[in-house]
Structure 1
Amino acid sequence: MTGWGQALPIFLQGVDVLNCARAGASTKSFMERGRLGWILDRLRPGDLHVISFGPNDMKPGAGLHTEPFEDYQGNLRRYVIETRLRGAHPVLVTSHERSVFDKFGNFRRPLKLYPAAKRELAAQMSVPLIDLNEWSVAWWRQLGPQDCRQVFLYLAPGEHPNYPEGVGDNSHLRPYGAVEVARYVVGEMRSRGLLPGGYFRNLENQFDADHAVEFLADDESELLTKERVGRAIAGATK
């Protein structure tokens, strides 16, 4: 299982990439557990704050769920405002779609209105938007249900020691998928001029993704996870 944030350093140089993404987090839980506060405490003027949520906001239950054009947008608005108050620059990224096809091979869009809600907010607040959702839909459709398994976490029994019984995951990427999604996101940063040209590299190069993506040691990952559950931000920003 590989997040595309892990792969961003492959395509960037001369900048520090701090990947604070957390599997299973929504805009709501990320704030309530203090993770946004941890980031805001460390933002400096001129930093880019890349923000992408959606798949977990649609999950039912009080701990994660938000409504697309209500508290989801409200939470994202707060991320944007708090970022700008620190002189940093928010960048909104719509979430890539899950790989969901019906029995006839027709592609479905399970994220529904969440990408649209983010697009609307980006337009309202003049925030740069990278529309990973639309790009992913086009690619997933081109690949079809079988070839999408090269992008997502599909492994046969015995193929990888982390999943001895195999796995079929329509939501999370494998290294190849993460690298290609990161390539698209960074390519959009370059074309929008979000960073000077000298900060980009390798966008036209191909990689053995299984060796190009770095993973933290388990103890280091656990330590960073504990550190980043900081203070929650009280109140609300309107």
Structure 2
Amino acid sequence: MSLSRRQVAGAALAAIPLTAGTAHAGGRRSRALFVAGDSTAAQKFADAAPETGWGMALPFLLHKEWRVANHAVNGRSSKSFVDEGRLDAILGVIEPGDLLLIQFAHNDEKKDDPARYTEPWTTYQEHLRLYVDGARARGARPVLATAVERRRFDAAGNAVPSHGEYPAAMRALAEREGVALLDVQALSLALWQELGAEETKRYFNWTSTEQDNTHFNPPGAIAVARLVVRELLRTRVLAPRDVRRLEEEIPEEWITWPEPAA
């Protein structure tokens, strides 16, 4: 089913927490971290459990004055997210001082799907620039994040990168445009290498009926969210006072999957 831009915008607005735009004591407004991305980051619902997007774990790592507005959606590329009006929905509500975290590549890579495919050094960068320019025009700060790696190992047990030229293209764009870059691709690849082929199964959506090497379960989502937050600190997008529980265990049962909206 194809949604109109108005329907997409309405759904996105309905998904934003009721605390949006509220002021704390002293008149300071809570700030928001918006996530634009694909299924690896997206909110999952009860029918998908235990699959978990890393965006679902972010609220446990950020101070309560930050709220997470997770607009990531399964199956979207930097192009299709824009074409469906989802970037417009974010730009319609984002405010000065907010962050827009942008992670795409998994679906941009699909050459056989013209609705989603982008070429790394041309149309991928062109679409990413729409997010960067749109956030800046509204006084918000764009943050680019290279795509988290899939679980792939060669016969020698080495973690193998799967995103081709897309991470390099995003790094180059970030440098050229002066945008903070979270190198989640490099960090996640290093983490999978450290854990090894067998241990990483505990981080991905491996169940009795499914062997998914792209999407996460709660431990995997929490681990990737930690990488994201550490990078937000390293790049000074966030300050230490903005972060909590970074070195603490986060119970898996804190992750919940709501029923899908009717």
**Structure that is richer in helix per residue:** 1
2:245 aligns with one of 202, 206, 212: 202
> Counterpart of 2:92 in 1: which secondary structure?
helix
Q: Which residue of 2 aligns with 1:17?
A: 68
Q: 1:141 offset after TM fit, Å?
A: 1.1
1:56 aligns with one of 85, 95, 107: 107
> Counterpart of 1:218 in 2: which secondary structure?
coil
Distance 2:109 2:178 in 1: 25
Is the Cα–Cα contact under 8 Å of residues 188 and 227 in structure 2 kept in the other structure? no
Identity of aligned residues (%): 40
TM-score after normalising by structure 2:
0.77
Q: Which residue of 2 aligns with 1:31?
A: 82
Distance 1:11 1:126 in 2: 26
2:256 aligns with one of 204, 214, 231: 214
Q: Which residue of 1 aligns with 2:129?
A: 77
Q: 1:107 offset after TM fit, Å?
A: 2.5
Letter in 2 for 1:44: E
Distance 1:81 1:214 in 2: 34
Q: 1:144 offset after TM fit, Å?
A: 1.7
Structure 2's unaligned 5+ residue stretches are 1-50
> Counterpart of 1:50 in 2: which secondary structure?
strand
Q: Kindly indicate whether residue 221 of structure 2 is the aligned counterpart of residue 139 of structure 1.
A: no
Number of corresponding residues: 210
Q: Deviations over 1:91-114 (max 9, x none)?
A: 001111111123342332111111
CA RMSD of aligned residues (A): 1.3
Alignment of 1:162-201 (within 5 A): 166-201=209-244
Q: 1:212 offset after TM fit, Å?
A: 1.9
Distance 2:133 2:69 in 1: 20
Q: 1:193 offset after TM fit, Å?
A: 2.4
1:86 aligns with one of 135, 138, 141: 138
Letter in 1 for 2:152: V
Structure 1's unaligned 5+ residue stretches are 157-165, 223-238
> Counterpart of 2:69 in 1: which secondary structure?
coil
Q: 1:218 offset after TM fit, Å?
A: 1.6
1:129 aligns with one of 172, 178, 181: 181
TM-score after normalising by structure 1:
0.85
Is the Cα–Cα contact under 8 Å of residues 181 and 235 in structure 2 kept in the other structure? no
